[in-house]
Structure 1
Amino acid sequence: MNVLWNIGLIVAGLGGISGFLMLWKIPRAVEGASTLRESPRISIIIPARNEEGRIVPLLQSLQAQNFKPYEVIVVDDDSSDRTAVIARSNGATVIPNPKIDNGWIGKSSACWEGAKAATGEWLLFLDADTRLVREDSLRRIAATFSLAAGEFGILSFQPYHTVRQGYEHLSALFNIIVMAGMNVFSVFDDRVRGAGSFGPCILTRRETYFETGGHAAVKDAVMDDLALGERYRQAGYPVRCFGGRGCIDFRMYPEGLRQLVEGWTKSFGTASKSTHPLIMAMIVLWIAAGFLTTLLLAGALLLAADSFWGSIAVYFAYMLQLFWLARRTGNFRFVYFLFYPVLLLFFCVVHVWSLYLGKVRRSVRWRGRNIKV
């Protein structure tokens, strides 16, 4: 038992170290936004399919900005609800996108139609469930693009996850791994190639967008954000990713557990292919450490082993790290992490199901659409 305990402790320790290294730093939007060289004309483009219950906070937050967007365009992506009516009543220009054909997949078609209709010099694509949390958020995003990105390539933000219901904590590991899997927040920094961009918030210059082909060039990609980022890199443009805490947030899958499973199923089977092997190894080791700490504690309880208190200490150490990492991505509550093996198991089951749908059935479902992958 002592030998197994020592081996388990070493593996758990290596996994814990991997957890820190894979999310070494998460940069945020710059302060001091008054240093903008000028006031760029920013067109906000919001692809929206059946978003009547989510889009109002975003539109209201745009109206509250002290740096007003040049225009707000909502692309009604064949909605069957009141999305278009609500968008118009909140000051947005609404254009229809009634049909997807000719190989288009997902929201790429709506983004492309919105970009063609936009007249601003900068294009900011925002998901309908996002929200700018401060009145200067738009100015800070623009300043980050100007100062940190040199108005070059893509600037993208992963919004901070606002959690309200208990079941939403099942997204904790997904959020952590989405951030880590972008390859840009680890200790290796630029020495590891980035995976792409964050889809909920993408800012780019209009001329660059159309030069690279924009969403039309990645119309057949399920994960259009990753594909768009890769397209920019192939064209020689940088892609910079930031964390959205304190600037932009979102609430994911508020309709319930079924939507949460459907959403993460769509994302993960495809997205995992973009993660660098070194980062993937760190993620796998970190998840394995979580299961191992659980097994060590269970074994000590069943066998009444001398390592009982040590197993508890290791269990709680991993729990505290998991909670710390999760809080960097969303406002998750501590009590749910006391039972973190449930979160680990849920993640693994959904990930395996996602791989099955992507590799065997070659189809996933999202927003009432069957998407071929």
Structure 2
Amino acid sequence: MEIFFTVLAYAGLAVVVFQTWPYIRFFQKDLSTDSQLHQGFPLVSIIIPARNEEKNLPGLLHSLLKLTYPNYEIIVVDDQSEDNTYQVASQYSVTVVKAPAKPEGWIGKNWACHIGSQVARGSLLLFTDADTIHMPESLTKAVQYLQENQCAMVSAPSFHLNTHWWEKLMGPFHFLVTVAASPYDTPTHKQPYAIGQYLLFDTAFYHQHKGHAAVKSSLTEDVELARNTLLYEGKYAVYTQAVLYQVQMYASFKAFMQGWSRLLRLGVQSMDISTLVISLLSIMALLSCRTNDVGLIRLIPTIGALLCVWIVQKRSGNYSLLGLVLFPVSTLLFMIIGLYALGLYIFNMPVRWRGRAYTRPVQA
């Protein structure tokens, strides 16, 4: 039996190295931003769905107002907020829209994005979340990338700020999520990678294929929008040349647990067998040295996997090297939340998000 687990650990190391390899060239191809884009500076409408975001909006809006891109508008859509979201947004030089009550069958965020798209004037649409902080040259880089690659849709992975000490130890946890998702692979309609915190669209393509209205009941609207783009023969790509934005996703450990339970539960909903295999083999590699009788042959997969974790975590967030030492803790946490998310999915428990409960995640 030990030989069997050792073989699986080495197979896991091979998978981890293969999945991690693209990170080695991350940041190595940063595009220089010309003072003049090849197709000029099209108007970009930046749309922010906001529900109870009075605390996050100032940081986001300050960063957006410092963008070096010369031609954009900002639209904040107040999604039935119960706090001072509308009042806070109104203090800035942005357009603030109050979304009417969402119709039956709509997810709140999708409805807010749809409302924003109806008043947008830009030939490009950028949907972003209130918990993001944008780099000054980010929009110029993203638009240039979309133009040069003739894309209908572009997304980008986030850089995690990790302001809490315990978040800095979660590098292995984030590694297991990211490696299985494979953001640096060529997207396919079966398993597209997309992050709803940054979705840039060609407006004409977006409206032609009904945009958020086409995925109105999906809690994984980012992935479904990417899938639809590919199915309608639009070009979709993930921008990985540089960090476009930073994010502080959770204010507390409780919020971290609730958030990742929801995200992994939704991941289970659309997960294929390859994702499950990659996740299990990655865990086998990390936990190869699980017994007191640890020899070199069982240390190699763990050391190799931790080296890959180090490569990934320094490019995806402010993570501490101490997290590598304490890797069994975050690995175990990933397994616990994963099993809990699986239970939520099997028993069809409500998905709670932004103060709303959705009783049945809708399949694509």
Further displaced range: 88-97 or 98-107: 98-107
Further displaced range: 260-269 or 165-174: 165-174
User: Structure 2: how far apart are the matches of 1:359 and 1:286?
Assistant: 24
Q: Equivalent residue for 1:31?
A: 31
Q: Which amino acid letter does the alignment assign opposite residue 43 of structure 1?
A: S
Further displaced range: 199-208 or 80-89: 80-89
Q: Equivalent residue for 2:336?
A: 349
Question: Matched residue of 2:328: which SS?
Answer: helix
Q: Does the 8 Å CA contact 2:153/2:226 hold for their aligned counterparts?
A: yes
Question: Matched residue of 1:355: which SS?
Answer: helix
Q: Equivalent residue for 1:62?
A: 64
Where does structure 2 lack aligned partners over 5 or more consecutive residues? none
Deviation at 1:124, TM superposition (A): 0.4
The CA RMSD measured in Å over matched residues stands at 2.5
Deviation at 1:171, TM superposition (A): 5.0
Name which of 111, 114, 117 aligns with 1:115: 117
Q: Which amino acid letter does the alignment assign opposite residue 342 of structure 2?
A: L
2:161 maps to 1:159: no
Q: Equivalent residue for 2:217?
A: 220
Q: Does the 8 Å CA contact 1:74/1:114 hold for their aligned counterparts?
A: yes
Q: Equivalent residue for 1:44?
A: 46
Name which of 246, 266, 269 aligns with 1:270: 266
Distance 1:191 1:82, change over 3 A: closer
User: Structure 1: how far apart are the matches of 2:30 and 2:308?
Assistant: 27
User: Structure 1: how far apart are the matches of 2:173 and 2:304?
Assistant: 20
Q: Which amino acid letter does the alignment assign opposite residue 121 of structure 1?
A: S
Q: Equivalent residue for 2:292?
A: 299
Deviation at 1:361, TM superposition (A): 3.1
Q: Does the 8 Å CA contact 1:124/1:203 hold for their aligned counterparts?
A: yes
Q: Does the 8 Å CA contact 1:183/1:275 hold for their aligned counterparts?
A: no
Distance 1:246 1:290, change over 3 A: same
Q: Does the 8 Å CA contact 1:195/1:276 hold for their aligned counterparts?
A: no
Normalised by the size of structure 2, how large is the TM-score? 0.89
Q: Identity over the aligned pairs, expressed in percent?
A: 26
Distance 1:192 1:368, change over 3 A: closer
Q: Does the 8 Å CA contact 2:60/2:134 hold for their aligned counterparts?
A: yes
Question: Matched residue of 1:203: which SS?
Answer: strand
2:311 maps to 1:324: yes
Q: Equivalent residue for 2:179?
A: 180
Normalised by the size of structure 1, how large is the TM-score? 0.87
Distance 1:60 1:335, change over 3 A: same
2:161 maps to 1:168: no
Distance 1:353 1:273, change over 3 A: same
Distance 1:278 1:312, change over 3 A: closer
Distance 1:101 1:354, change over 3 A: farther
User: Structure 1: how far apart are the matches of 2:173 and 2:353?
Assistant: 17
Q: Does the 8 Å CA contact 1:124/1:201 hold for their aligned counterparts?
A: yes
Q: Does the 8 Å CA contact 1:24/1:185 hold for their aligned counterparts?
A: no
Q: Equivalent residue for 2:281?
A: 285
Deviation at 1:16, TM superposition (A): 1.7
Further displaced range: 240-249 or 261-270: 240-249
Q: When you count helix as a share of all residues, which structure comes out higher?
A: 1
2:120 maps to 1:127: no
Distance 1:13 1:62, change over 3 A: same
Q: Which amino acid letter does the alignment assign opposite residue 10 of structure 2?
A: G
Q: Which amino acid letter does the alignment assign opposite residue 299 of structure 1?
A: N
2:351 maps to 1:364: yes
Q: Which amino acid letter does the alignment assign opposite residue 369 of structure 1?
A: R
Name which of 220, 238, 241 aligns with 2:238: 241
User: Structure 2: how far apart are the matches of 1:192 and 1:181?
Assistant: 16
User: Structure 2: how far apart are the matches of 1:103 and 1:246?
Assistant: 35
Question: Matched residue of 1:40: which SS?
Answer: coil
Question: Matched residue of 1:249: which SS?
Answer: strand
Q: Does the 8 Å CA contact 1:15/1:286 hold for their aligned counterparts?
A: yes
